[in-house]
Amino acid sequence: MALSVQVKNQHLLWRAGFGPAVEQWNDLSKTSPAKLYDALEKASRKEPMPLKVAANFVDGLMNGVDGVRRTEMTREQQQAMQKKSREEIRNLNLEWLDEMVNSEQQLREKIALFWHGHFACRNLNALYQQELLHVIRKNALGNFGTLLKEVSQSAAMLAFLNNQQNRKQKPNENFAREVMELFTMGRGNYTEKDIKEAARAFTGWQFKLNGEFIFRPAVHDDGVKTVLGRTGKFDGNDILNMLLEQKQTATYITTKLYRFLVNEQVNEENIKWLAERFYKSGYEIKTLLKDIFTGDWFYDEKNIGAHVKSPVELLVGIRRAMPMEIANEDAQLYLQKILGQVLFYPPNVAGWPGGFNWIDSSSLMFRMRIPQLMATKEAFNIKAKSDDDQEMGRGNKMPGRVLQTTIRWETAMKQLEKIPREHLLQNIASVMWQTDAGRMNKPMIEKFVDASSRERYIQTTMIQLMCTPEYQMC
């Protein structure tokens, strides 16, 4: 079956961004996917502004609380500072979520979300997380080698993977292991001896209290090491360069991006071609993305509607289709928590598993209620999995939550004003769903739609279509 330009463009906007914004609906069939990708790429060339929530917190970090040096702080003062830092991370989460919803730089923010999971890092210092996010957003579409080096020298990652404790004669292997296993080559492509020797090379990679990277020669092991079959007095940069020289690194990154952007079921032929070109380009991320998003196979029917939206993709996509003001913004953090993806709180060093792992019977039922909760201000009393980092030590005692939203329906009304009433349902479904809207059970949807006026019909149809299993996929 030949796919329409509209379906292809929606597919592109969901994979290279967070789905079509309501104001784009009428333009979805007016341009070719190739031109649309060029526009997305062009819009994302602009250097991103750093998201800054921790500016005041930095002063507190440097000066202690109320001018007391950190080493002299009481336990209560340290706890107050940790609490403040966690609140700042929550604010950073909401700022970035708004950026994903509203930014024209959809491609940048979507690929930054991928790197945020790839370089999974849990660190309760808001300044360090803010700096790491800026590194990721700034380099998201740049050079993978540069991104790898800047992430590896960030305070957040060095602290998370214990490299402050990695010293001459007392190496800590955590950092070296994850750099090989998760950031570059993937498990099974190196030996335990490679890790031990690489750990020695990363000794002395540390950071100052303000988050600035520092190399400390006094704790660096400058002896001879043998890593990946090569011998020399290697340091951390040498190791990263050696890992980038391995074609396996290009294959590993390509495969992971393919599963995120195209299909969990990888096509080995496509991977081989993409990885080869990625490697030859010197790891230019834009080259790899262009090869993916302009390949004919990207628009194969088997790749369309085959991706389970992650919780963040789901929440951002709903807000792009249904623009809204949210009075109690932090309710979105609780939604992320229930659904299992809180930004800055990956479950472990490997990040979020993705794919059908996002969905089980209880999470699916709740996911399908979210558009309704947003539109009707209905309370939800679902218990999220406990995570003390996210709860700031309060356990999981959460009252019934209500999303205080004001939805702006005017744009949807304007986009649909020329559509006859009898074609509205089909038309809205064709934009909302990436599965075949022709197979829709119309009587079932219309049973829950308010037909008292054209406006109410459009509003309730949009909500009902988003409250379906079909909307969970893109």
User: Do the beta carbons of residue 181 and residue 194 sit within 8 Å?
Assistant: no
Q: Indicate whether 257 and 335 sit together in one domain.
A: no
Domain closes at, from 260, 286, 303: 303
Q: Indicate whether 344 and 457 sit together in one domain.
A: yes
101-136 core/surface letters (b: 16 or more CB in 10 A; e: else): bebebbbbbbbbbbbbbbbbbbbbbbbbbbbbbbbb
Pull the structure tokens for residue 377.
Answer: 């201000």
- For residue 234, being part of any structural domain is answered with no
Prediction pTM value: 0.94
Banded model confidence at residue 388, pLDDT cuts 50, 70, 90:
low
Q: Indicate whether 340 and 451 sit together in one domain.
A: yes
Classify residue 450 by its DSSP letter: -
Q: Indicate whether 334 and 466 sit together in one domain.
A: yes
pLDDT of residue 385: 66
Burial of 169 (0-12, 13-18, 19+ CB in 10 A): exposed
Report the length, in residues, of the chain: 474
Rounded average pLDDT over 366-390:
79
Q: d(Cα 88, Cα 175) in Å, to the nearest integer?
A: 26
Report phi then psi at 152, rounded to 5. -65, -20
- For residue 183, being part of any structural domain is answered with no
Distance of CA 246 to the CA centre of its chain: 26
Cross-strand bridge partners of residue 231: 226
Cross-strand bridge partners of residue 214: 206
Q: Indicate whether 369 and 405 sit together in one domain.
A: yes
Q: d(Cα 128, Cα 158) in Å, to the nearest integer?
A: 10
Report phi then psi at 171, rounded to 5. -70, 145
Q: Indicate whether 459 and 350 sit together in one domain.
A: yes
Pull the structure tokens for residue 20.
Answer: 């079509």
Rounded average pLDDT over 455-463:
96
Pull the structure tokens for residue 192.
Answer: 């335990």
Is the pLDDT reported for residue 65 higher than 90? no
- For residue 171, being part of any structural domain is answered with no
Cross-strand bridge partners of residue 284: 143
Q: d(Cα 181, Cα 357) in Å, to the nearest integer?
A: 21
Report phi then psi at 134, rounded to 5. -65, -40
Give me the domain span that covers residue 252. Answer: 5-43+246-303
pLDDT of residue 401: 78
Pull the structure tokens for residue 455.
Answer: 């406006």
- For residue 134, being part of any structural domain is answered with no
**Range scoring the smallest mean pLDDT among 77-86, 171-180, 252-261:** 77-86
Q: Indicate whether 275 and 387 sit together in one domain.
A: no
User: Do the beta carbons of residue 219 and residue 168 sit within 8 Å?
Assistant: yes
- For residue 66, being part of any structural domain is answered with no
- For residue 285, being part of any structural domain is answered with yes
Q: Indicate whether 297 and 399 sit together in one domain.
A: no
Classify residue 205 by its DSSP letter: E
- For residue 21, being part of any structural domain is answered with yes
Q: Indicate whether 319 and 298 sit together in one domain.
A: no
Domain closes at, from 303, 337, 372: 303
Is the pLDDT reported for residue 377 higher than 90? no
**SS3 at position 201:** helix
Q: How many helices (H) and strands (E) does the chain have?
A: 23, 6
SS3 sequence, 216-236? CHHHCCCCCEEECCEEECCCH
Q: Indicate whether 253 and 337 sit together in one domain.
A: no
pLDDT of residue 66: 45
User: Do the beta carbons of residue 360 and residue 374 sit within 8 Å?
Assistant: no
- For residue range 232-291, what is the model confidence (pLDDT) as tens digits? 999 999 999 999 999 999 999 999 999 999 999 999 999 999 999 999 999 999 999 999
Of 151, 377, 355, 384, the residue nearest 256 (C-alpha): 355
pLDDT of residue 376: 86
Banded model confidence at residue 394, pLDDT cuts 50, 70, 90:
very low
Distance of CA 280 to the CA centre of its chain: 27
Burial of 424 (0-12, 13-18, 19+ CB in 10 A): middle
Is the pLDDT reported for residue 103 higher than 90? yes
- For residue 110, being part of any structural domain is answered with no
Residues 6+ apart with CB under 8 A from 181: 187, 190
Q: d(Cα 161, Cα 181) in Å, to the nearest integer?
A: 13
Kind and range of the H or E run holding 326: strand 324-326
Q: d(Cα 365, Cα 215) in Å, to the nearest integer?
A: 51
User: Do the beta carbons of residue 126 and residue 89 sit within 8 Å?
Assistant: yes
Domain closes at, from 266, 281, 303: 303
Rounded average pLDDT over 343-367:
92
Of 367, 369, 368, 380, the residue nearest 328 (C-alpha): 380
Q: Indicate whether 253 and 385 sit together in one domain.
A: no
Q: Indicate whether 325 and 464 sit together in one domain.
A: yes
Number of domains in the chain: 2
Type of residue found at 464 = Q
Distance of CA 199 to the CA centre of its chain: 29
